[in-house]
Amino acid sequence: MNNIYAIIFDLDGVICSTDRYHYLAWKALADRLGIPFDEQVNSQLRGVSRMESLEIVLGEHSADYSEEQKEALATEKNEIYKSYLSSMTPRDLPKEVRMTLHMLRQRGYLLAIGSSSKNTQQILRQLGLGDFFDAIADGTMITKSKPDPEVFLLAASMLGVSPENAIVIEDAESGVRAAKAGRFRAIGIRTEGNDPDSDITVKNLKNLIDIL
Ligand code: BG6
Ligand code: MG
C-alpha cells in the first residue's frame, strides 16, 4: 500500500482473544445484578472504555447506582477479567499473529498498539510482547476512548508519523470510526457477529501480508 510506514493495532480482538474474556466478565457481573446481557450487547462494548461499557451494560438500570457504586462494579468486573488474564501465556498469541507481526517488522514497518484498555501492558507482557512494539498508546494515557481518535493520534505521534502514513487494524466499529475521525486508513478484522465498516475487511490478521 502506498505511503504507509506504520501500522497501529488494536489489542483486544485483534492481537489476542481477550474480547472473549471481556464478554465472560461482563456476563458474570450482569448475571449477579440480574441484568440481561448477551453477545449483541457485548458487541457494543468493543473498543469502548471500562466505565462507558458499564453504562451500556447497566442500560436503563444506570440511575439505580451511585457513582461510587459504579466504580465498585467496574472494579468487580475488572477483577473477574484479570482472573482470566492471569492464565495467559505466550502460547495464547496465535501463531499467525506472531508470524504476521514478525513479517511486517522485517518489511520495515513501524508497529504500534492503540488500545482503550488499561490492562494493555499486562496483556502484552503475558503474551511475550512486552518489548516488541515501537510504541504503545493505551487506556491509561487518554481522556477520550474510541470512537474518539485520541489513542491512535497518540500512537502515531509517538512513532513520529502522520495519520495519512499509518494504517489502523481494528475489530470494532468504534475503532474504525476512531481511525476515520483521525484520518487514518482502516483495515477491519471480521469476526462472528461483527463486520466493521472499514476501507478493507479481512478475516484473519495474516491476510495483511498480501494487502500491505
Ligand atoms: C478495549 C475493549 O480494548 O478495552 C473493550 O475492546 C474494553 O471491550 C476496553 O472495555 C477497556 O478495557 P479495560 O481492560 O481497561 O477494562
Ligand atoms: Mg478490539
Write down the domain spans for the chain. 6-16+91-210, 19-85
Q: Which residues of the chain have pLDDT under 50?
A: none
Q: Say what the pLDDT of residue 169 is.
A: 97
Fill in the amino acid letter for 198: S
CA of 82 to the centre of ligand 1 (A): 12
CATH of region 19-85 = 1.10.150.240
pLDDT of residue 203: 87
What is the 68 CA–ligand 1 centroid distance (Å)?
A: 20
Q: Does domain 6-16+91-210 have CATH number 3.40.1710.10?
A: no
Q: Whose CA is nearest to atom 16 of ligand 1?
A: 50
Specify the pLDDT at position 10. Answer: 97
Residues with CB under 6 A from ligand 1: 11-12, 19, 22, 45-50, 53, 78, 115-119, 139, 172
47 Cα: distance to centroid of ligand 1 (angstroms)? 6
Question: What's the pLDDT at 193?
Answer: 64
> Is residue 166 within 8 Å of residue 184, measured between CB atoms?
yes
Buried b (16+ CB within 10 A) or exposed e, 1-16: eeebebbbbbbbbbbb
Query: Which pLDDT belongs to residue 199?
Result: 84
Which set of grid coordinates corresponds to residue 103?
513479517
Query: How many other C-beta atoms lie within 10 A of the C-beta of residue 89?
Result: 9
